[in-house]
Structure 1
Amino acid sequence: MTLKSTRYTLLLLLTSTLFTTLANARQKQNHFIITNYGAIGDGKTDNAVAIQKAIDACTKAGGGKVIIPAGNTFMSGPFNLKSNIQLEVEVNAKLIANSNEKVYQKSAFRDNKGEGTIWIGGENLSNVTICGGGTIDGNGISFMGAELDDSYELKPFNIIDPRPHLLTIVGGKNIRIRDLTIRNSAYWTVHLVGCDDVAIDNLTLLNSLKVRNSDGIDLDHSKNVRISNCYIESGDDCICLKNRREYEEFGPCENITVSNCTMTSRSCAIKIGSENMDRISYVLINNCIIKKSNRGIGIQNRDEGTVSDVIFSNIIIDSHLFSDTWWGKAEPIYVTSYRRAKGNNKDAGWRFPKGQTEGKAGAVTNIYFSNIKCTSENGIYVGAESADKVSGIIFDQVDVFINKSTALPGGVYDRRPSNVEGLLKGRTSAFYLDKASHIIIRNSSVRWGDNRPDYFAHVLESHEVTDLKITNLEGQSAFPQQQEAIKAYSTN
């Protein structure tokens, strides 16, 4: 090799090394590791200040990654996310909430301080990603009272309920939550308020099935949201769409898709409502599995807002009875519109329009169920305070298998919270329709298991239903020698 060629080779090596060094330096400049800002991963030290310093530095630098490093448990009180950051919880890293109730002071619902506080928060954000193979732990059990058979007691409080919601983002744009385990929330887990352009993917969300109010994902006045490939266990609703009155300026909840998710809930796996003072519409929920739940799919309209243009398709539902602590009586599908009961509880003032003590019930229209397979202790319930409030409901290829599988008493439908009798005693029929209009049931079937208590009854029972069309509905009553398959009362 000549001297000239040797010099040229060395120059190439030096140039390559320089570019690599500059690239690594640039990469490190965009990485903000919380331990560099004073965080201590001993599981005991509150690292809220250190985490906030790292987030603020990242935002000031124009954006980048805020890293919770692997191999440690970092305890923290409340902190706020900022725009243009990726909060990355690395594999084998844990971020856990401080169990000291006194550090939680910011209300999750503004001036309504009786429904929890905020742990990880952020307002008016854009371009935020929360990800990583690690775990965010809400430390929820530490905020509970005594353990009961199927729930925990809720501790009494005066004005502020200190239980923290795990993640609350208000007014977010371009939000991504992915490839992460979130667990053990003391209240709602992922609460997105007034957010636009959201993708939640490959999330494992594991809450205690005994913690009340531990919703999985709540979309509140949010739009253009995609939820996919998630596994969710929660005591309260797994995925819930709503429009809370405290955030009414953000408008309707719309353009929502949910796909390829598996869910378990002690209340309702997929719920629309009950808080809905605006409009919820253009919703597609497809390819999901609901197992060991109380209620499967629920539309629970209790306020003046409307629900319309929703499609549920390709879903397997397995539902069972639980105690009265939990709303629902194992209805695999539940579509209702009732005015909210006049309130005398701690949050009654926030449930009705300002200055009023009684609300109205908005309409539920154009709801389509296709290829739904139900196994349950109870039947499908459709009901409203008047027939015009629930209209245009189609059941196509909805198969219902009913069998008694627990020792809990049945023969009841749950209409809480409403201005009518909350727990309605009635025979268990596969389709129970109570005041509705323009209902179509087609290409569907009903079967009964071997365990048939005497309150098991009809394939279909209807009360004051107008324009009911039935085509190719197969099945017999639970006791064919004693009951007809279809029983209609006051039907036009």
Structure 2
Amino acid sequence: MFRCEWISASEEVSSVVAGEYGEFVVTDFGAVGNGVTDDARAIQQAIDACSAAGGGIVVFPAGKTFLAGPLHMRSNVNLHLRPNSVLLANPNESIYNESAFGANEGEGMMWLSGKDIRNFTISGTGRIDGNAVAFMGAELDDSYELKPVTTFDPRPHVLTLINARNVRISDVTIANSAYWTVHLVGCYDVAISNISLLNNLKVRNGDGIDIDHSRKVRISNCFIESGDDCICLKNRREFEEYGPCEDVVVTNCIMTSRSCAVKIGSENMDRIARVLFDNCIVTESNRGIGIQNRDEGTVEDVTFSNMIVDCKLFSDVWWGKSEPIYVTSYPRARGNHKDAGWRFPKGATKGACGEVRNIRFINIASTSENGIFIGCDTPGKVSDILLSNVDLTLKKQTAFKGGVYDRRPCEGEGFVKSDVFGIFAENASGVTVRDFQVSANDFPGYAAPTNFVNCTDIRVSPADHVW
């Protein structure tokens, strides 16, 4: 039996004063830390007192588990988890009622959240745990069933920051999210470093870090495992007032995903630009590097360099067909999904997809059960794509049948059946390939290094190497 206590915004901040070095220890405010009692009231009092005092450190003592329902972050607060401390999401679905997407309640609620805050930090070597399996349905072979919902989904996102500035997240472990894990909306000047983000690989929608309408974001030296996308850049329609997603750098990270480890899209109603992924490793993923433009926004000036990408096939529950590199723009499918009304511009019943251009892949070594896929619905909508010093080893690793590329979510046919090519492109323009090497080794269904269908301005040099 869990005991829940609530504090309203109008209640006075606790009279407990800060300890040495401006520390506000949550147990001094009444938190029990036994993993059974809901400590949200006490923790919120500590956060509020810290911010009201002008800033400081909210401390979770070592070796204790603090069960808590929803919490609101404040400005000038450092949420610090000491070694072997755990902040654990209360599994009671009924207490999560603040939507992670405003009026759209169909894609989860918020657990830890902050809006219009400044100078916020999460630090320490403790653990923030979203208690994911408590919110899931039955366990399947490579996923969990999602509980049936209509227009309201109670699953909590771990951390949602909206219009936050000067955000630092370092060293902690963030784990077991039931939905998205770290969601940055309209944020500016964010640095995430040295964290372990360890989600259950069977949890659908379990994104790692979502950078949404945000700018000046740096992610470095992180280890991320997530059922859904590990790092994803996007522009959701619910937050269109925050403008484009720009100036993002990701370096020295290791990622594993059942969907797409590194993704841009699919939600993009604005502009995503000036992005760099460098010195990263992708392992055991269904798709490696993906640009999945499905809305009217554009994607441009993106570089992926010095990366190792290993992919293999998973079931159709997960988007992707083991494409190590994937660059696409197709109109989003219409449907009756719980959030379908939020996928298109207001009043529209169908969508459009914007241009993808000036995308560079430099020094990429990949092993996969499929080749590179580049495609769009209209000739030239995907353009100026560079693949330089890209090595692909085709290696059969699973019993899943190959010879399929995945366009989902899109209007029309979602799966493209084909022989396996090192690069398969349709309707693209201005594709430059330099020093592309394919090792096929009698891979089943392999046809040739490249296949350009209805493409223009294709430059391949020197001649493809195949052995």
Report if TM-score (shorter chain) is over 0.5.
Answer: yes
Q: 1:55-70, aligned counterparts within 5 Å? A: 55-70=47-62
Contact 1:445/1:473, CA 8 A, preserved across alignment: no
Q: 1:345-360, aligned counterparts within 5 Å? A: 345-360=337-352
Select 2:200's aligned residue among 193, 208, 217: 208
Which amino acid letter does the alignment assign opposite residue 468 of structure 1? I
Contact 2:18/2:24, CA 8 A, preserved across alignment: no
Which amino acid letter does the alignment assign opposite residue 227 of structure 2? G
Equivalent residue, structure 2, for 1:484 = none
Equivalent residue, structure 1, for 2:258 = 266
Distance 2:357 2:459 in 1: 16
Equivalent residue, structure 2, for 1:15 = none
Distance 1:291 1:159 in 2: 35
Which amino acid letter does the alignment assign opposite residue 466 of structure 2? Q
Q: CA deviation at 1:476?
A: 3.3
> Per residue, is there more helix in 1 or in 2?
1
Q: 1:354-369, aligned counterparts within 5 Å? A: 354-369=346-361
Deviates most, 402-411 or 209-218 = 402-411
- Does residue 143 of structure 2 align to residue 165 of structure 1? no
Q: TM-score, normalised by structure 2?
A: 0.95
Equivalent residue, structure 1, for 2:14 = none
Which amino acid letter does the alignment assign opposite residue 448 of structure 2? H
Describe the shift of the 1:445–1:385 C-alpha distance in structure 2 as closer, same or farther (beyond 3 A): same
Contact 1:404/1:449, CA 8 A, preserved across alignment: no
Select 1:297's aligned residue among 286, 289, 296: 289
* Root mean square deviation, CA, Å: 1.1
Select 1:224's aligned residue among 216, 229, 232: 216
Select 1:51's aligned residue among 43, 57, 65: 43
- Does residue 348 of structure 2 align to residue 380 of structure 1? no
Describe the shift of the 1:27–1:39 C-alpha distance in structure 2 as closer, same or farther (beyond 3 A): closer
Q: CA deviation at 1:159?
A: 3.0
- Does residue 129 of structure 2 align to residue 129 of structure 1? no
Select 2:74's aligned residue among 66, 76, 82: 82
Deviates most, 401-410 or 267-276 = 401-410
SS at match of 1:62: coil
Describe the shift of the 1:113–1:475 C-alpha distance in structure 2 as closer, same or farther (beyond 3 A): same
Which amino acid letter does the alignment assign opposite residue 292 of structure 1? E
Distance 2:277 2:233 in 1: 12
Equivalent residue, structure 1, for 2:458 = 468
Q: 1:437-452, aligned counterparts within 5 Å? A: 437-450=429-442, 452=443
Contact 1:232/1:262, CA 8 A, preserved across alignment: yes
Q: CA deviation at 1:456?
A: 1.6
Select 2:447's aligned residue among 457, 476, 484: 457
SS at match of 2:331: coil
Which amino acid letter does the alignment assign opposite residue 118 of structure 1? M
Distance 1:332 1:406 in 2: 16
Structure 1, unaligned runs of 5 or more: 1-24, 478-492
Structure 1 or 2, whichever has the larger Rg, is 1
Listed one character per residue, the Cα deviations across residues 274-319 of structure 1 (whole Å, up to 9, x for unaligned) are: 0000000000110000011110000000000000000000000000
SS at match of 1:387: coil
Distance 1:444 1:473 in 2: 8
Identity of aligned residues (%): 59
Runs of 4+ in structure 1 off by over 4 angstroms are none
Which amino acid letter does the alignment assign opposite residue 242 of structure 1? K
Distance 2:427 2:95 in 1: 49
Q: CA deviation at 1:43?
A: 0.3
Q: 1:80-119, aligned counterparts within 5 Å? A: 80-119=72-111
Distance 1:473 1:393 in 2: 18
Q: TM-score, normalised by structure 1?
A: 0.90
Which amino acid letter does the alignment assign opposite residue 310 of structure 2? D
- Does residue 267 of structure 2 align to residue 279 of structure 1? no
Select 2:301's aligned residue among 301, 306, 309: 309
Structure 2, unaligned runs of 5 or more: 1-16
Contact 1:170/1:192, CA 8 A, preserved across alignment: yes
Q: CA deviation at 1:26?
A: 7.7
Distance 1:359 1:388 in 2: 18
Listed one character per residue, the Cα deviations across residues 83-123 of structure 1 (whole Å, up to 9, x for unaligned) are: 00000011110110000000100000000000000000010
Distance 1:299 1:378 in 2: 16
Equivalent residue, structure 1, for 2:226 = 234
